Amino acid sequence: SLVVNIYLLLGLEHSEALSWNPRYVLLKNLIVSDLLLTVTISLPALHCLLWRETLIFSFRCIVQYFTVAVAILGSLLTVSSMALERFVYTCHGIHYLRIMTNMRLYCFMILIWLLALAGAGSSTALVLMSRANFGRILAGFVCEPEVVQAQLEPSNYFETFNKIFIGSVLFLCLLVFSFSYRRMYQEARQVQQPFQQDNARARCTIFFYFAIFLLQLFPSIIKLITMFGRDVDNHIYMIMLVLVPPCVNPVAYGIRNKEVSQALARLCGSKKLKELFCR
């Protein structure tokens, strides 16, 4: 995940043709979220597995909980924004550049991070306001909501807020994605008979990105379900679920694209490397 995401980020940064494109600006934002999520979860989990120990509920655990929440929320909102950007590109192509200006795009990304920070900050504030049992050994490798909830004195505020907020974010993402790709699918169906092949290709593309989007939402949906049931306690399974999207996103949204593949090929075949091997 780290290698592929960093390599893709470098390829986008070194490509003058892609660095300003709104689609790939959002992709870079998604890569940053995925890198933040991967580092925050993987390093503590690997440390615990190598040393055969679990986490201790401390301020470091609270920081991890806050960072993971920000990264997950940022990824979900960014993927939804990418679907909205594709809708504007497909259905309003004539006005695309007038709508997707740099100022609006950067303001939109700032709004994404502000929403992620607000949601994660509110949840973390509820933890700090509760009487938490710091210093206790946790039965897990990641400070997730259920693990943190178990360390708090009986209070419904933290649990209720997480259920409502996560449910609202998932509903918003599904609403935006369904609206965007439904409109794009309708546009594809309106193509005349001579373009039937392109129409089929458009449908396949829409279904492909819909499957990737569901994969992105799957960990959060599973997490929301486990909040209503106390019988699920497989932390390694949840870690794998959370780390799967950062591995799949670069392939689905980046490397699979022809323009990005060419940019990555140019990054590999830079002048310094050519001079080195040509000698």
pLDDT confidence of 186, banded at 50, 70, 90?
confident
Q: Which of 149, 155, 146 is nearest to 223 (CA)?
A: 146
Q: Which has the higher per-residue pLDDT, 63 or 149? A: 63
Domain-embedded: residue 269: no
Number of domains into which the chain is organized: 1
Give the highest mean pLDDT range of 97-106, 183-192, 234-243.
Answer: 97-106
* Percentage, residues of the chain above pLDDT 70: 80
Q: Please state, in angstroms and rounded to a whole number, the distance separating the CA atoms of residues 35 and 65.
A: 16
Domain-embedded: residue 18: yes
- The whole-number pLDDT of residue 227 equals 66
Domain-embedded: residue 76: yes
pLDDT at 82 over 60: yes
Domain-embedded: residue 271: no
Q: Which has the higher per-residue pLDDT, 167 or 239? A: 167
CA 242 vs CA 1, 53, 181, 266: distances in Å? 12, 21, 24, 32
pLDDT at 90 over 50: yes
**What mean pLDDT is reported for the chain?**
79
- The whole-number pLDDT of residue 197 equals 54
pLDDT confidence of 121, banded at 50, 70, 90?
very high
Domain-embedded: residue 215: yes
Domain that holds residue 76: 2-263
pLDDT confidence of 272, banded at 50, 70, 90?
very low
Domain-embedded: residue 279: no
Domain-embedded: residue 270: no
| Domain CATH for 237 | 1.20.1070.10
Domain-embedded: residue 11: yes
User: How do residues 131-162 score in pLDDT, each as one tens digit?
Assistant: 777 878 877 778 877 778 777 776 678 888 88
